[in-house]
Amino acid sequence: MDFQRFDAYVDAHATEYLAKLTGLARIPSIAAEGGPAMDDAAAAVVALCAWAGVQAEQIPTEDGPPIILGRTEDGARSLLIYNHYDVQPPDPLDAWTTPPFEPAVRAGVLYGRGVADNKGNLVARLAAARAYRETLGPLPLRLLFVLEGEEEVGSPHLASFAEAHADLLRGMDGCIWESGYKDEADRQTISLGLKGVLSLELHVRTAASDAHSGNGGLYPNAAWRLVEALSTLRAPDGQVTVDGFLDRVRPPTDREMAMLARIPFDAAAIQRSLGMSGFLGGLTGIAALRRLIFEPTCTINGILGGYTGPGSKTVIPARAMAKLDLRLAPDQTPEIALELVRAHLTRRGFTDVSVIESEGGLMPARSDPGAAIVRAAVAALAEVHGEEPIVFPSAAGSGPMYQLCQAYGIPAVLCGVGWANSRTHAPDESIRVADFVEGIKAMGRIYGRFAQAE
């Protein structure tokens, strides 16, 4: 195919595409807050679909914003596209250089809440469909857009949506997932999976009320019990030590390990930039990458108990609490992980420690590096950017990929318009305008190449 006309058209319409994005980014569609902004954003997304020639309908959810289901009808092959129109809360507001919902371009960078996560990608994928039609003719494949409004609050309705549309999903040949980023050296990166996650709270109660610490040698102490329970869950080198937890972890294939070897990874530079003295267990190089990409984790997100104000208070806390997340690798599941943690603690006598799942868990998801959609994405990004993208067998983060893709046999690829300073979930979230335009060009090529791939 001749993408010269396509590219020229995209360049000529860059201002229009940017205006579509800033229009959407102006809507404060904060899923955690809900309210009329969610409806406004949903309506704006439906209008963008119409503009792009995508037939869209709002699928209502029971008590949340609608999922937008967009379709095109031409072509034999089918591509699922997943994005979300909701955003993270913008706090702390005073850390933003310009207001989060007043998108502003400075030195070629567009700042605003949601421009990277995930409205920039959503608009780029629709803009690519429109530009394709305007320059190359009818789309060569069927597209199915699933654009939800609750990704930042754990996608509570996506699984039931997927189940209700199982027949539609089973017909999909591949998926372009949410987002992707260029790295510090400006290399394109794509990922072929996500870890699962289980969010837990551990609550300890040892007495009716706090007691005087003179009795500390005799009375149970909730903070000590919590420390003792936690210290059995993970080794200091970062390995999860929950009984049976690692048994289900699928080891990386030779091909996946070979992919790792091609990933540039400067452990010392990361440590320097984050002000840390080293990685857990002294890991470096490929061993560190293997931990990051393939292995499950157990992380204390927060811990609280007893007196934590100024000065000292000689008290034995009766209650203590920790929040944890466990990242899961294929073939772990949140349900089994939860049962393993509970059984592990019960087996060690921690009957005074309650284990509560604090949010719906997510399954791990990983796609075959040989899948057609992977090959199409790699080739498209290489052509636009001038060098091969770096392919991560999986990202270290999590998302609802399994319930929409792997559960229906759909291989999925994460790629998108972000850069190393996108600061998603943080103040001054941004994308570079040039990356946004390049991302539209890349998506057009993905549509073309995936339609033709064997």
**Piece of 19-27, 121-129, 314-322, 409-417 that binds its own copies (CB under 8 A):** 314-322
Under 8 Å between Cβ of 288 and 267? yes
Considering only 251, 254, 277, 370, the residue that binds its own copies (CB under 8 A) is 277
Which residues in the 234-263 window bind its own copies by CB under 8 A?
A: 234, 236, 238
Asked if 452 is part of the footprint of its own copies (rule: CB under 8 A), the reply reads no
Among candidate residues 229, 293, 234, the one with its CA nearest the CA of residue 258: 293
Q: Is 299 in the site for its own copies (CB under 8 A)?
A: yes
d(CA 373, CA 371): 6
Nearest distance from residue 252's CB to its own copies, in Å? 14
| 415, 389 Cβ separation under 8 angstroms | yes
Exactly one of 72, 88, 179, 199 binds its own copies (CB under 8 A); that residue is 199
4 near its own copies, judged by CB under 8 A: no
Q: Which two tokens stand for residue 366?
A: 């990983």
19, 50, 261, 300: which one contacts its own copies (CB under 8 A)? Answer: 300
Binding segment toward its own copies, per CB under 8 A, in 20-28, 71-79, 162-170, 300-308: 300-308
Q: How many angstroms separate the CA atoms of 94 and 408, rounded?
A: 44
Question: Six-digit token pair at 406?
Answer: 């792997």
Decide: is 110 part of the binding site for its own copies (CB under 8 A). Answer: no
202 forms part of the interface with its own copies (CB under 8 A): no
203 belongs to the binding site for its own copies (CB under 8 A) = no
Nearer to its own copies, 59 or 280 (CB): 280
**H-helix or E-strand containing 383?**
helix 372-385
Smallest distance, Å, CB 149 to its own copies? 18
Residue 395 CB, nearest approach to its own copies (Å): 7
Q: Is 317 in the site for its own copies (CB under 8 A)?
A: yes
Q: Using CB under 8 A, which of 228, 243, 368, 428 touches its own copies? A: 228
How far does CA 430 lie from the centroid of its chain? 17
Q: In the set 92, 108, 251, 302, which binds its own copies (CB under 8 A)?
A: 302
Contact 150/64 with Cβ under 8 angstroms?
A: yes
Among 58, 219, 343, 375, binds its own copies (CB under 8 A): 219
* β-pair partners for 191: 392, 414
- Main-chain dihedrals φ then ψ at residue 3, nearest 5 degrees: -90, 0
CA pair distance 328, 406, nearest whole angstrom: 15
Q: Is 265 in the site for its own copies (CB under 8 A)?
A: no
Distance CA 385, CA 139 (A): 23
Q: Does 23 bind its own copies (CB under 8 A)?
A: no
Positive or negative CA dihedral for 416, 417, 422, 423?
Answer: negative
